[in-house]
Structure 1
Amino acid sequence: MKFALTALAAVAAASPIFEQETFNSEPGFSLDLNAQRLVQLEGQPPVWMTELDKIKAKAQNIKFFDITDTQDLESFAATSHVKFEFPATPTATDKVTSVIKTLSTKGPRANLEKFSSFRTRYYRSDTGKDSQQWLLSKIQDITKSASSSLKELVNLSEFSHSWGQNSIILSINGSTTPDEVVIVSAHQDSTNMWPFLPAPGADDDGSGTVTILEAYRALVAADFKPERTVQFHWYSAEEGGLLGSQAVAKEYAARSVKVVAMNQFDMTAWVKKGTREEAGIITDFVNEDLTAFNKKLVDTYLDIPYVETKCGYACSDHASWGKAGYASGFTIESSFENSNHYIHSANDRIDISEEFSFTHMLEFSKLAVAFAIELGGWA
């Protein structure tokens, strides 16, 4: 596949340190730019391209699935997944409100300061693995604070991947219908246009990562014991073509797991100067009924309104679950055109602009809590 010359390619041409043989021996990375990958773009048959071509495509904002290891994922959409109806209106307002009152910006700020301090969380880097292990330890710390009876319901595991940075799955087992699963998710990896450059990824998707982590903390503090199983997922390798979420979705679909719904939180911190503070509700490549329910949750529990917006094909991990035939949705910090323009650069930092807002992130923690309780139930 041929790509037009970009700023990325121009940097490579001008800088000897970006010669391909140097790339392939870069310390701290396990990345072969000549490796062949099967990539699927919107409306086109899959094509083989090199890892370097994938990087060029991403730099041009071309969205794609890397389906090298998940070529049959779409076939599961034709199987008889259980279809669930979503409530006409929220029904657990007292319980949701009691939990969201305990949410704080203190934990997310401290966690994101650390999480974005890794030079990069690129999924094929040593620091990407280190950041994943740090995140795992934070989830473990929160779980240790749970009541003894809640701990018996919690299962924390790593979903192993060949590239080294694993996805993380936290499950609170349901008491009434444990075979039905509600998923709250974010992706933990980050990238720069060249993966070997610094990528603090404070907003993309450090913000979503700590947003749902704060929701989990508040639920643990409230001794939340759901009727359905509620899971929190932190995916690896979203920036590599939704690799981690595709692997997890395929494994769930192969086991015929009854996923009620999954909701992705990717970028939750940015409020563009001069715009109204809003929660972006993605309306393309999502489940319409779940999206309508998400709007009702925003209206009921958030202090800001929603705005409908679109982000395109394969733009985040919800697309993997939709491809597998499950109901998936996606909420983002704003309308897509007003979202953070520093992503995929060394400037995706907490301190780069007053537009980075922890109180805005808190609104999305409210949404994650509401999603978990309203669809998971509370025994």
Structure 2
Amino acid sequence: MPRSNISAGNRLIQLSETQTKWMNESQILELISRQQRFRDITDIGPQASVAPNTQPAFPTTLTHQAQVQPLLSQVSEAIPRSVLTNFTTFTNRYYNNNNGKKSSAWLQDTIKTIAAARVNVTAFAHRFPQSSIIARIEGTSLNNEVVVISAHQDSINSNSPDTGRAPGADDDGSGTVTILEALRVFSQSSLTPKRSVEFHWYAGEEGGLLGSADIAKQYKGRAVVADLHFDMTGFPATPPAVGIVTDYTDNDTSELVRKIVKAYTDLPTVDFTCGYACSDHASWTANGVRAALPFENQYVDGNDNIHSPRDSLSTVDFGHLVKYVNIALGFIVEVSDAQ
């Protein structure tokens, strides 16, 4: 996709299911500073939901405990901590500047270093400097069907997006290293998925779900089984719990996640609503693809450090974070039917 100045003209911004508005860059930045959720739909156009009977089959019970349990002992706090320590040294990872471009290139190289040889890692270019990253493990008998595990890699200082300090340790460095650790453990195991598994690190989430929207549009018509999205996994509340987002998500997928949390963590689940377009899972649900979002706690605004210099490494609880690696691994093995 050719690169261009995405902020050169007005953008079509969707503020709710029924409200859209053409806005310039300063108006969009004002939305960000107010923490208002929105989708930038300029480049994707109208999206119609896919009929339920076109969706691939989806498991409703846990049948792969014998395959999942040995993986959990391989999960490490040290590797996510090391990666996130380096990832937060960029001034920011703003999708529309050179920091976002450089941080994405660094992350892609890191993924290639950590993942096993059977993983194919590629960049997905957008109309802005930062690229998304896709790491794919090929399936066997159902390789045309895809299970997506995702996070977003960009960070933003809501008061000064281009130059302000935004380490983005929790938002969403925590999700970034969560799915990277799940990729490392699964790809280095002896398990082979029947369905293909893709790990996505989206660019431009903070700009209105830009990266995931481009990818979901390109995947339209493909057999995407479900997206399990991790946006913030390192900041527990008291008492700790896994928040299950119940709006703009799929009930069956969320219910499977509840079962996985119970089986492979010591945390309860608490349902809550997140609001319109609160993260990249919304790009998939807008295209009729199942999606779920297990959140770091039971409060949508539980971490008030985000989008500021305070979202630093010192705020991340890695003991809590690795429980979400367990969730990712359980989901991957069950939904891909790994043997």
TM-score w.r.t. structure 2 length? 0.95
3-state secondary structure, aligned to 2:225: strand
3-state secondary structure, aligned to 1:336: coil
CA deviation profile, 1:213-260 (whole Å, cap 9, x unmatched): 00011112213321000110000000000000000000000xx11011
Q: What is the letter of the counterpart of residue 22 of structure 2?
A: W
1:360 counterpart residue number: 320
2:161 counterpart residue number: 195
Q: What is the letter of the counterpart of residue 372 of structure 1?
A: I
1:328 counterpart residue number: 291
Asked if 1 retains the 8 angstrom alpha-carbon contact of 2:168 and 2:311, the reply is yes
CA deviation profile, 1:161-216 (whole Å, cap 9, x unmatched): 12011111111110110011100000000001120211110000000000000001
The 5 Å alignment of 1:154-169 reads: 154-169=119-134
Whole-Å Cα distance in 2 between the matches of residues 70 and 31 of structure 1? 17
Asked if 2 retains the 8 angstrom alpha-carbon contact of 1:282 and 1:330, the reply is yes
2:333 counterpart residue number: 373
Whole-Å Cα distance in 2 between the matches of residues 241 and 251 of structure 1? 17
2:277 counterpart residue number: 314
- 2:34 paired with 1:67: no
Q: 1:31: Cα distance to partner?
A: 6.5
Whole-Å Cα distance in 1 between the matches of residues 225 and 102 of structure 2? 32
> Structure with the greater relative contact order (CA < 8 A, sep ≥ 6): 1 or 2?
2
Give the direction of change, closer, same or farther, for the CA distance of 1:261–1:33 in structure 2 (3 Å limit): closer
Q: 1:84: Cα distance to partner?
A: 3.6
Asked if 2 retains the 8 angstrom alpha-carbon contact of 1:119 and 1:200, the reply is yes
3-state secondary structure, aligned to 2:327: helix
Q: What is the letter of the counterpart of residue 40 of structure 1?
A: Q
1:230 counterpart residue number: 197
- 2:98 paired with 1:112: no
Asked if 2 retains the 8 angstrom alpha-carbon contact of 1:33 and 1:52, the reply is no
Give the direction of change, closer, same or farther, for the CA distance of 1:244–1:277 in structure 2 (3 Å limit): same
CA deviation profile, 1:35-76 (whole Å, cap 9, x unmatched): 31110111334210101101101221211110110113x13x
CA deviation profile, 1:275-309 (whole Å, cap 9, x unmatched): 11111111111011111111111111112111111
Whole-Å Cα distance in 2 between the matches of residues 376 and 166 of structure 1? 26
Which of 102, 106, 111 lines up with 2:74 in the alignment? 102
Q: 1:82: Cα distance to partner?
A: 2.2
Whole-Å Cα distance in 2 between the matches of residues 362 and 78 of structure 1? 34
Q: What is the letter of the counterpart of residue 50 of structure 1?
A: N
Q: What is the letter of the counterpart of residue 334 of structure 2?
A: E
Give the direction of change, closer, same or farther, for the CA distance of 1:191–1:284 in structure 2 (3 Å limit): same
Asked if 2 retains the 8 angstrom alpha-carbon contact of 1:34 and 1:52, the reply is no
The 5 Å alignment of 1:1-379 reads: 35-72=9-46, 74-75=47-48, 77-78=49-50, 82-143=54-115, 145-146=116-117, 151=118, 154-193=119-158, 194-196=160-162, 197-253=164-220, 256-272=221-237, 275-337=238-300, 339-351=302-314, 353=315, 356-379=316-339
Whole-Å Cα distance in 1 between the matches of residues 122 and 241 of structure 2? 34
RMSD: 1.6
TM-score w.r.t. structure 1 length? 0.85
Whole-Å Cα distance in 1 between the matches of residues 85 and 218 of structure 2? 33
Whole-Å Cα distance in 1 between the matches of residues 284 and 218 of structure 2? 11
CA deviation profile, 1:318-376 (whole Å, cap 9, x unmatched): 0000001111111110012462110000110012x4xx300100000001111110101
Q: What is the letter of the counterpart of residue 358 of structure 1?
A: F
Q: What is the letter of the counterpart of residue 139 of structure 2?
A: G
Q: What is the letter of the counterpart of residue 259 of structure 1?
A: V
Q: Percent identity?
A: 40
| Gap runs ≥5 in structure 1 | 1-29
Equivalent residues, number: 334
Whole-Å Cα distance in 1 between the matches of residues 59 and 39 of structure 2? 32
Give the number of the structure whose alpha-carbon radius of gyration is greater.
Answer: 1
